Amino acid sequence: MNALGRHLLLELKDCNPEVLNDLEFLKSSLTETAVQIGATVIGDSFHQFSPQGVSGVVIISESHLFIHTWPEYSYAAVDVFTCGEKVDPMLAVKPLVEKLGSKSSSVIELKRGILQDIELAVS
């Protein structure tokens, strides 16, 4: 079975609530992680909510890294989606867990664009 991409859903609990409410820290953390795993960063968009919380995306040529935070619950939901074979999204898990200070994390991986009986072009 072939897939166009891999999509990781990270459940990050017991995080540092201060960093979950720091837009600039989150932007740099996601960007640094994208670069660290070999992705090509294209741009980003982040929003600070009132009274707290941040949502943001770092767009990579291979797809994206997305975060939603709930500092009041010390919780962050992070998506790491990559297409092709160049970037392994699993390499983003450890740095993100460490940067956000998560003491309890889990990861679900989904194969996206499952194409049966079709040979995918390797890029």
Active site residues: 63, 68, 83
Cβ–Cβ < 8 Å for 30, 45:
no
CA distance 83 to 85: 7
The residue type found at 14 is D
Angle at 82 between CA 80 and CA 31, to 5 degrees: 55
Tell whether omega for the bond before 51 is within 30 degrees of 0, i.e. cis.
Answer: yes
Token look-up 């450890």 returns: 94
Residue 93 parent element (H or E): helix 93-100
